[in-house]
Amino acid sequence: MRIFYSVLIIVLLLSNIILGSGSSPFFHLTPQGIVKGEDVNFEVMLTPENSTIYDLYLFYRQLGEGDYNTVKMDRVGYFYNATLLTDQFVTGQIEYYFGYEGELGEIGTLPDMSPQTNPFVMRVAPVSYTH
């Protein structure tokens, strides 16, 4: 499944580069199908043209909270990963964005514009109990 996901990301990334429809040095898909209590993996892929990113951070909060929490992401090749435990969240939505530091003091975010007020949103489903 991981190979399929990686191939899908590469295909979408290449189509994005060919069409020239984005200036972001990253590619990210919002995690889907998350149930409260499960771990969720956030993955970001660098584009080959911009592999000079040194640190990438995940900023996240539960919908309605004021402040974002921060996790430094781990890098393996062109991929950055971070895992969150969802049992700490009340069922609902998690807002998040990414911030990075690059060479020569370059900083940026994903999404590019107003990430704190226009973050990615991930839904967390309630736990299903069967009797």
Sequence-distant contacts of 26-33: CB under 8 A, at least 24 apart: 26/98, 26/100, 26/110, 28/98, 28/110, 28/120, 30/120, 30/121, 30/122, 31/122, 33/125
For residue range 100-121, list pLDDT tens digits in order: 988 778 888 999 888 999 999 9
Provide the token pair at 89. Answer: 């969240």
Contact predicate 111/119, CB 8 Å: yes
Torsion of CA 21, 109, 121, 71, to 10 degrees: 140
pLDDT of residue 72: 96
pTM for this model (two decimals): 0.76
pLDDT of residue 18: 38
pLDDT of residue 52: 77
